[in-house]
């Protein structure tokens, strides 16, 4: 994968800013570019600015730009994949504004793959048209981040503050006024004021023992928004990617769905092709169906994996089309042009998150969210492949515009900024064995709140998570401890929402309650704090409005 040049630190001390953007993936960068036209922007990132899931996105970006496609077809495919729980208006925004956002990216220098001078559109599961744009074969996210980072660096009103962990949102009288931040190097804690704050912190895959997400995906934005009083929605919908490399000695590595789009086949441990037994589309069935089919085959054959087979495809084509995947597997002594690839499902993407409207506004004035941390209703119960990068572009730009409009109104500008002591609400503690708790949490979530769930497994998980919640219900002074606290928070929300939804739909599969049309199936789950108290607080799960039944 091509290396992206790191951004130099432009300042010795944190500058004042009109807007705080927390996170530096596609959504955060696009939002920052929009905000930079209207004021000073400070981008906060824990660790390095390039530590985002966006940079690792392989498959591509879905957009209706080909001659055989149009936005109405893209909308229908997205609604169908979402199993009736997408918000129609959010999907319409995505597919209608998506082409302009992609053309804008191309104008800024994005180089998507072409064949004969025309864009090489690929097809992935559940897409009825070839609409997936890709870059350098399987490095699309990396290319998009490269271009957005370069564009952001041209804006003199954007500054970066890397290696700064955002601990809490500064909320006064229900208005977000800034954030409490930890300097990861010095350990200093300080409050940064802002006229508006935009969350673009990504997902929470690290709450699971097997995940395609980078180590930084610990659900920080969802956790801090919850503690601040924001509504979290549809947290039970966690997408498990069907095909992650399975090797006992290596972490899961994503094997793009585009491989199956190009003709890759799935075989069980006996070498049998099995997907036609589960869905007419075979290996190109929707992700939730493919993942559960693999899970079933693993159980039936008592194996830890199945195989992804591309040995029947032209080796030169494979090397050219999937250079990152080919070279990565080769490092683990697997030549995918000659050998079947051992794969199994891994936690991949959060469809749920901080509830927003189509402008990125959350339930807290002054707080906006975009990208995987947010739940705009685009994905419903199961994300259509390659819609996530487009979502980051479209809703990142929209959230930037909405945050600008909020700041212009001056709402909450007269409210006092809370101090560090006000936000900490107590002395700093230290987790006795943070690594052990983190590992135990990930195993619990994988085993009891994973791809296949039951009422009894969820009851057991929520009980244990409640006990861990009490153990971390205090302020902490290190990134490691704070991440574990956030992981417990988010895991608890996922488990509570999964326990509430007593039916199977999309990525949420209850082995003990499989009827899709059970009463209330089309409702969205909502979780918020019952009372704003110190620590993690109590959870309240509510039914919300019905999802879209169109498509």
Q: CB neighbours of 484 closer than 8 A, spacing ≥ 6? A: 431, 434, 437, 438, 441, 472
Strand ranges, E, within 365-444? 367-369, 374-375
How many Å apart are CA 40 and CA 49, to the nearest integer? 18
Taking Cα atoms as reference points, which of 143, 120, 155, 121 lies closest to residue 43?
155
In sequence order, what E strands does 196-276 have?
196-199, 232-233, 238-245, 265-267
Tell me which DSSP letter residue 118 carries: E
The interaxial angle of helices 479-500 and 455-471, nearest 10 deg, is 150
Q: Which residues contact 518 (CB under 8 A, 6 or more apart)?
A: 502, 503
CA end-to-end span of the chain: 37
Identify which of 270, 300, 257 has the alpha carbon closest to the alpha carbon of residue 125. Answer: 257
Look up residue 231 and give its two tokens.
């509504």
The label of the residue with tokens 């052990």 reads: 436
Q: How many CB atoms lie within 10 A of CB 277?
A: 11
CA distance 356 to 381: 16
Query: Among the options 123, 189, 210, 287, which is catalytic?
Result: 287
Q: What are the angstrom distances between the C-alpha of 520 and each of 219, 242, 540, 544? A: 28, 28, 17, 10
**467 among known catalytic residues:** no
* Tokens matching residue 532: 């704003």
Q: How far is CA 81 from CA 117, 237, 477, in A?
A: 32, 13, 42
Would you please indicate which residues are annotated as catalytic (active-site) residues? Answer: 287
């Amino acid at each position: 994968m091509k290396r992206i040049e790191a951004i130099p630190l432009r300042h010795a001390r944190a500058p004042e800013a009109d807007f705080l953007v927390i996170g530096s993936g596609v959504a955060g960068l696009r939002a920052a570019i929009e905000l930079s036209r209207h004021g000073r922007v400070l981008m906060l990132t824990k660790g390095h600015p390039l530590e985002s899931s966006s940079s690792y996105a392989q498959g591509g970006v879905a957009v209706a730009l080909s001659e055989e496609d149009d936005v109405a077809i893209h909308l229908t495919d997205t609604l169908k994949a979402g199993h009736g729980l997408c918000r129609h208006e959010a999907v319409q925004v995505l597919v209608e504004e998506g082409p302009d956002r992609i053309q804008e990216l191309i104008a800024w220098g994005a180089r998507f793959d072409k064949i004969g001078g025309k864009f090489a559109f690929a097809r992935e599961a559940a897409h009825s048209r070839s609409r997936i744009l890709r870059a350098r074969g399987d490095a699309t996210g990396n290319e998009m981040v490269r271009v957005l980072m370069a564009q952001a660096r041209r804006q003199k009103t954007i500054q970066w503050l890397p290696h700064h962990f955002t601990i809490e949102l500064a909320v006064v009288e229900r208005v977000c006024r800034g954030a409490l931040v930890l300097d990861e190097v010095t350990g200093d804690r300080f409050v940064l004021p802002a006229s508006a704050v935009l969350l673009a912190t990504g997902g929470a895959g690290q709450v699971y023992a097997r995940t395609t997400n980078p180590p930084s995906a610990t659900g920080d934005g969802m956790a801090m928004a919850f503690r601040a009083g924001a509504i979290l929605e549809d947290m039970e919908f966690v997408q498990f990617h069907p095909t992650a490399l399975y090797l006992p000695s290596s972490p899961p590595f994503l094997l793009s769905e585009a491989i199956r789009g190009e003709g890759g086949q799935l075989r069980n441990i006996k070498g049998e092709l099995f997907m036609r037994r589960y869905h007419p589309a075979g290996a190109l069935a929707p992700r939730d169906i493919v993942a559960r089919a693999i899970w079933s085959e693993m159980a039936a054959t008592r194996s830890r994996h199945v195989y992804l087979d591309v040995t029947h495809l032209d080796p030169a084509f494979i090397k050219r089309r999937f250079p990152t995947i080919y070279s990565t597997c080769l490092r683990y002594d697997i030549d995918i042009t000659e050998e079947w690839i051992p794969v199994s499902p891994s936690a991949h993407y959060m469809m749920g998150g901080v509830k927003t409207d189509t402008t990125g506004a959350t339930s807290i004035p002054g707080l906006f969210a975009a990208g995987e941390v947010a739940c705009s209703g685009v994905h419903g119960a199961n994300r259509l492949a390659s819609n996530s990068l487009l979502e980051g572009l479209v809703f990142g730009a929209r959230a930037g515009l909405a945050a600008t409009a909020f700041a212009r109104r001056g709402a909450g500008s007269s409210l006092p900024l809370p101090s560090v002591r006000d936000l900490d609400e107590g002395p700093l503690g230290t987790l006795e064995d943070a690594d052990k708790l983190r590992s135990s949490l990930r195993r619990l979530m994988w085993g009891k709140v994973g791809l296949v769930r039951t009422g009894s497994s969820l009851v057991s998980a929520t009980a244990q998570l409640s006990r861990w919640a009490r153990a971390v219900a205090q302020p902490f002074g290190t990134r490691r401890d704070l991440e574990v606290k956030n992981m417990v928070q988010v895991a608890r929300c996922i488990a509570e929402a999964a326990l509430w939804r007593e039916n199977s739909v999309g990525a949420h599969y209850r082995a003990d309650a499989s009827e899709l049309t059970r009463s209330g199936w089309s409702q969205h789950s909502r979780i918020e704090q019952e009372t704003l108290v110190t620590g993690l607080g109590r959870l309240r799960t509510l039914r919300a409005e019905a999802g879209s039944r169109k498509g």
